[in-house]
């Protein structure tokens, strides 16, 4: 188990997807993280998740009194993180292959200028932004193969499942450091904040990695988008 990793899993009333996400994470990555924080955007009691979680030592359930939106829900959840690494996720993803926590951590440990490690297949990533986004060059560190998001894209940071550093979030996150202090005078959807974060990270010399072409996770949320 890695005592330096917390899973932050955001949720909003999609219980069927939440169950599939948690159970597939436990199947393919058991005994790898210290804590899971499940942040529900609303007042629903999520205590039933304890019946699904078998290998994560600590489960923290956060519930908003009223719906606050994706970005504020993430902000509240990250405020509860005490480990240096965050595995970010939301319900609506199905994990399909092992070793993604170990491989992602090794990449971030070896490259301080890597901002996050993507897990989706290269084809899914390209479909998400409607163009090829993964540089075909294959790299390797400590026998772990990885690829890079094309440096000429204005995309790379994402709220898709992936490991990242809490320190980077605290220093660079656009919602936390720019939008939230404006007290709601400017609101942006999550995908626009992803683009802002990408620009900020790249301005600080950072890049974004992804694991193998086949991917370790796939989207099962479909058009049930959470904002």
Average pLDDT over residues 189-202: 96
Distance CA 28, CA 10 (A): 19
Q: Which domains does the chain have, with CATH numbers?
A: 2-219 (3.90.550.10)
Distance CA 70, CA 82 (A): 21
118 three-state secondary structure = strand
Nearest to 164 by CA among 93, 90, 84: 84
Distance CA 170, CA 147 (A): 26
What's CA 30's distance to the chain center, in Å?
18
Average pLDDT over residues 181-209: 93
Q: Is the pLDDT score of 222 beyond 70? A: no
Structure token pair of residue 154: 């204005």
pTM: 0.95
Q: Where does the pLDDT of residue 45 fall: very low under 50, low under 70, confident under 90, or very high at 90 and above?
A: confident
The pLDDT score that the predictor gives to residue 187 is 83
**What are 64-116's pLDDT values in tens digits?**
888 999 999 999 999 999 999 999 999 999 999 999 999 999 999 999 999 99
């Amino acid at each position: 188990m890695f005592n330096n990793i917390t899973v932050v899993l955001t949720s909003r009333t999609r219980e069927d997807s939440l169950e599939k996400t948690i159970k597939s994470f436990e199947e393919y990555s058991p005994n790898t993280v210290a804590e899971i924080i499940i942040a529900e955007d609303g007042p629903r009691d999520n205590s039933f998740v304890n019946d699904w979680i078998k290998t994560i030592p600590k489960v923290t359930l956060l519930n908003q009194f009223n719906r606050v939106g994706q970005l504020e829900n993430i902000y509240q959840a990250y405020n509860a993180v005490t480990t240096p690494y965050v595995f970010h996720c939301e319900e609506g993803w199905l994990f399909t292959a092992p070793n993604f926590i170990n491989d992602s951590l090794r990449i971030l440990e070896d490259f301080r200028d890597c901002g996050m490690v993507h897990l989706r297949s290269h084809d899914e990533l390209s479909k998400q932004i409607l163009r090829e986004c993964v540089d075909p060059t294959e790299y390797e560190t400590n026998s772990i193969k990885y690829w890079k998001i094309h440096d000429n894209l204005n995309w790379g940071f994402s709220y898709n499942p992936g490991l990242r550093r809490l320190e980077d979030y605290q220093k660079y996150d656009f919602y936390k450091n720019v939008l939230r202090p404006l007290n709601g005078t400017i609101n942006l959807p999550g995908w626009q904040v992803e683009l802002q974060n990408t620009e900020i990270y790249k301005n600080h010399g950072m890049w974004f990695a992804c694991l193998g072409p086949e991917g370790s996770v796939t989207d099962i949320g479909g058009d049930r988008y959470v904002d």
